[in-house]
Amino acid sequence: MYLGKLVEVGSAVDVVERPLHPYTRALISAVPIPDPVRERQRQRIILQGDPPSPIKPPAGCSFHPRCPFAVEKCEMEVPNLEEKELARFAACIRIGEI
């Protein structure tokens, strides 16, 4: 969820091992790995900017101000939660491109 809206739905294994939505990718990248060698090698996704207000979310996709893949269309269009793969749903217009 991001600002109270579902951004990705799927089995726990699928979401954790192959996240589709950019926000889910950032969340998963923040989870520490107990193996010190792997922990030093992992690449974190650090989101830029501050989270927007949930009281007055931005127009379009609420994640677009912090999304590294956002394009102009993201600022205007609210993405629907759609099936992107079998039993995998995501709310992002750019899933097939990223």
Residues 42-96: tens digit of each pLDDT: 999 999 999 999 999 999 999 999 999 999 999 999 999 999 999 999 999 999 8
pTM: 0.91
Average pLDDT over residues 20-25: 97
Please report, for residues 8, 17, 52, 60, 74, the alpha-carbon distance to residue 80 in angstroms, rounded to integers and kept in the order given: 11, 23, 19, 11, 12
Say what the pLDDT of residue 60 is.
96
HEC letters along the chain: CECCECCEECCHHHHHHCCCCHHHHHHHHCCCCCCHHHHHHCCCCCCCCCCCCCCCCCCCCCCCCCCCCCCHHHHHCCCCCEEEECCEEECCCCCCCC
Residue type for position 69: F
